[in-house]
Amino acid sequence: MEWTRDGFVISTDPDRLDRESIHRFLETSYWSPQIPRSIVERSIENSMPFGLYEKETGRQVGFARVITDRATFAYLADVYVLDSHRQRGLALWLMETILAHPELQNMRRWTLFTRDAHALYRKVGFKDIEDPPRCMEIVDRGIYARMKDDGP
């Protein structure tokens, strides 16, 4: 699927993704430092990716992916817009597009984690966890630093 607005395109075509630029961004992000390229590849293959592109040049300037069963649950991950393209409403448009995707309707639960973009996600309906004691997790922040990247 593809959506166009103000010189930009959002596409769900995984073949269009600039996987090298996605990896470059993610390996320096606060949420996935040192992530191996093979893990980025596998994460894209096993989720619903959304690429954000300049229409004229085709350059990828943003990305997000949804991990979902396409029936009851969706987890929003790896959302970014390059610094050079921020403050143009592109992240909000990307979120609105994802939430309106026909295969992602009527989900019982959407989740995400963010350190600093709460205001963006609140604009599209996300709220703080309703009952935090019900939420549990296992976190291994150093996993990527211990991994050897053997390729995709």
CATH of the domain at 92: 3.40.630.30
**What band does 70 get if pLDDT is binned at 50, 70 and 90?**
very high
Query: Does residue 152 belong to any structural domain of this protein?
Result: no
Answer yes or no: is pLDDT of 151 > 70.
no
Query: Does residue 151 belong to any structural domain of this protein?
Result: no
CA distances in angstroms from 104 to 5, 70, 78, 107, listed in the order given: 21, 6, 17, 7
Query: Does residue 119 belong to any structural domain of this protein?
Result: yes
- Give the pLDDT confidence score for residue 4 in this predicted structure: 92
Q: What is the domain range of residue 38?
A: 2-146
Query: Does residue 132 belong to any structural domain of this protein?
Result: yes
**What band does 104 get if pLDDT is binned at 50, 70 and 90?**
very high
Number of domains in the chain: 1
CA 145, CA 147: separation in Å to the nearest integer?
A: 6
What is the number of other CB atoms lying within 10 angstroms of the CB of residue 78? Answer: 22
Answer yes or no: is pLDDT of 149 > 80.
no
pTM of the model: 0.89
